[in-house]
């Protein structure tokens, strides 16, 4: 059964308690359950991870590239948090591997502070889902499954 890597960056471990007016009250564990359930319905599994450390995220992207080439991974759902706006290293990691990455943001970053308007990941992402709350994760899983079935 193919897998989808759902990768979460800094501060997403605080989801549900951090700025609920912006990010909602759903926890990261709730998001993992949603993703696992939908992926199962689509015949996939989920490898769900979170790290506050940029290097750990880079290593996960590199690993995803290898797993994708082996045919065991459909792609990556990636909410890089604030690293989206700051990390050229994550841009380079995604660019360096041949795995479809869907960039996800819970809030509409374009309606927020101007520093959040630029993404280093968008130019190398297969797609971007912004502003649909935690439902964006499920939308990204559906998109990767649809893309793989073509």
- Reference 136, options 113, 112, 107; nearest CA is 107
- The single-letter DSSP state of residue 106 is S
117 appears as a binding residue in the annotation = no
Give the span between the Cα atoms of 78 and 40, in whole angstroms.
19
41 membership: H or E segment, kind and range: helix 28-41
Residue from 23, 83, 91, 137 carrying the catalytic annotation: 23
114 appears as a binding residue in the annotation = no
92 appears as a binding residue in the annotation = yes
**Residue 25 Cα distances to 19, 21, 134, angstroms:** 9, 8, 10
118 appears as a binding residue in the annotation = no
141 appears as a binding residue in the annotation = no
The 3-state DSSP class for residue 4 equals: strand
116 appears as a binding residue in the annotation = yes
| 23 counts as catalytic | yes
Residue from 83, 105, 110, 118 carrying the catalytic annotation: 105
Give the span between the Cα atoms of 36 and 52, in whole angstroms.
22
| 105 counts as catalytic | yes
In the block, tokens 């951090």 appear at: 18
Annotated binding site for substrate: 79, 85, 92, 106-107, 116
Annotated binding site: 79, 85, 92, 106-107, 116
**Residues designated catalytic:** 23, 105
């Amino acid at each position: 059964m193919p897998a989808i890597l759902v990768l979460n960056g800094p501060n997403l471990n605080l989801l549900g308690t951090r700025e609920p007016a912006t990010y909602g009250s759903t926890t990261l564990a709730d998001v993992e359950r949603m993703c696992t359930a939908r992926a199962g319905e689509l015949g996939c599994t989920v490898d769900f991870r979170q790290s506050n450390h940029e290097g750990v995220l880079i290593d996960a992207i590199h690993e995803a590239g290898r797993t994708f080439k082996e045919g065991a991974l459909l792609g990556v759902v990636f909410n890089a948090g604030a690293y989206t706006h700051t990390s050229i290293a994550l841009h380079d990691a995604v660019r360096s591997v041949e795995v479809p990455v869907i960039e996800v943001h819970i809030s509409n970053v374009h309606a927020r502070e101007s520093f959040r308007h630029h993404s280093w990941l968008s130019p190398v992402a297969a797609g971007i889902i912004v502003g649909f709350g935690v439902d964006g994760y499920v939308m990204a899983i559906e998109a990767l499954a649809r893309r793989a079935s073509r």
